[in-house]
Amino acid sequence: MVATPPPQCLAADKHTRIWLAQYERPRRERYLRDLGRFRKWLGREPRILLLDARRRGPENVNRALTDYYNYLVEDEAKAPTSANQYITRLRSYFTANGQYLGRFHRKTDVQATYERTKASSLLPQDISNMVKSRKKARDKFVIAFLAQTGQRIGILTAMKEKMMREKVIHGHGIVRVPATFPNRRGQNVNTLGREYTFIVGRDTMKLLPLLDLDKRPWDKEGRLKVSPRQMGRIVDKAAQAIGIQDKPPTKMGESWSDVHPNTFRKYWKKCMLDAKADTRAVLHMMGANLPSILQGWEPTDKELLEAYEKAESRLSLVDAQKTEET
């Protein structure tokens, strides 16, 4: 990842000067910091996106901004309102330089525009093939975990080896996520803000011991050596390997395409609801806010396990034994 340049370097760019000329000094400094963070995440100069938008249209810029919005909400745990303010300030950079980007599509809007491969069209065989297409045990585990738990990618970055082995293998797959659940950067990945519980499938539990086959899969604090962006690349490469990825990622921020980590979250939810699992239990296990009328409802472990068992056959990996041996 490219290091964030000092503010004076960004300010020296003519496109940035045109942009900042509209604002007073306090706002200029804040906007310059926002542009620097975006550049660090992007891994390239924002002016490259500007020049590309002039030649080819704003599609790539909008895709990068949407991915950045998702990153702020999912991984940085920013409130949607705050993330939207970040994006608004960044869009003004392009507008000031004569490039109108049109309407901004947030996460839910963009996912609705995918043309072919949808979360609803993923099959258990697709998940199995994606797992089998990966050589590293870590990559196999990441795909199975996301597909069989319905969790956000940040949860996996915060789970420690001890927690996985005690709660996942010896605890019948029941994992409790505390209200404050920090990743290696100290960021709380539990966007719900209160404790909730989810279930790990049997196939994922079988893949967990295989992580020891990889060279040093855990960091010093016992967390799996994988970042949110690495998970995105793992999923994208696996989807491409089995021929279900229609839109390959671009270099700008390694943007997710038709099949991405959040697609598994939608796939898990669909499998659970198709199996007629209790909707309250499904939302609870996803770490999602319950409707106001149900917010006082607290499920027991038995109720969660019963809900999960209804859909476990749908979520199971096809040829799980062969997948494990592979």
Domain contains 139: yes
Q: Where is 301: in which H helix or E strand?
A: helix 301-315
pLDDT in tens, 155-196: 999 988 888 877 665 557 888 899 899 888 888 888 887 889
The amino acid sitting at 50 is L
pLDDT in tens, 259-310: 888 889 889 998 998 898 888 888 889 888 766 555 667 888 889 999 999 8
- The reported pTM is 0.61
Domain co-membership, 211 together with 102: no
pLDDT band for position 6 (cuts 50, 70, 90): very low
pLDDT band for position 129 (cuts 50, 70, 90): very high
Report the alpha-carbon distance of residue 207 to residue 181 in Å, rounded: 24
Domain co-membership, 183 together with 155: yes
84-88 contacts: CB < 8 A, separation 24 or more? 86/34, 86/38
Domain co-membership, 211 together with 318: yes
Report the alpha-carbon distance of residue 94 to residue 38 in Å, rounded: 13
Number of domains the chain contains: 2
Domain co-membership, 292 together with 148: yes
Domain co-membership, 48 together with 127: no
Last residue of a domain, one of 72, 91, 111: 111
Domain contains 161: yes
Domain co-membership, 20 together with 152: no
pLDDT in tens, 67-80: 888 878 777 767 77
Domain co-membership, 165 together with 264: yes
Residue 105: per-residue pLDDT: 56
249-259 exposure pattern, b = at least 16 Cβ within 10 A, e = fewer: beebbbbbbbb
Domain span at 258: 119-325
pLDDT band for position 112 (cuts 50, 70, 90): very low
Domain co-membership, 51 together with 99: yes
Domain co-membership, 99 together with 197: no
pLDDT in tens, 202-232: 888 888 888 887 788 888 888 888 888 888 8
306 class by beta-carbon count within 10 Å (0-12 exposed, 13-18 middle, 19+ buried): middle
Q: What percent of the chain has pLDDT over 70?
A: 79
Q: Which domain CATH number covers 237? A: 1.10.443
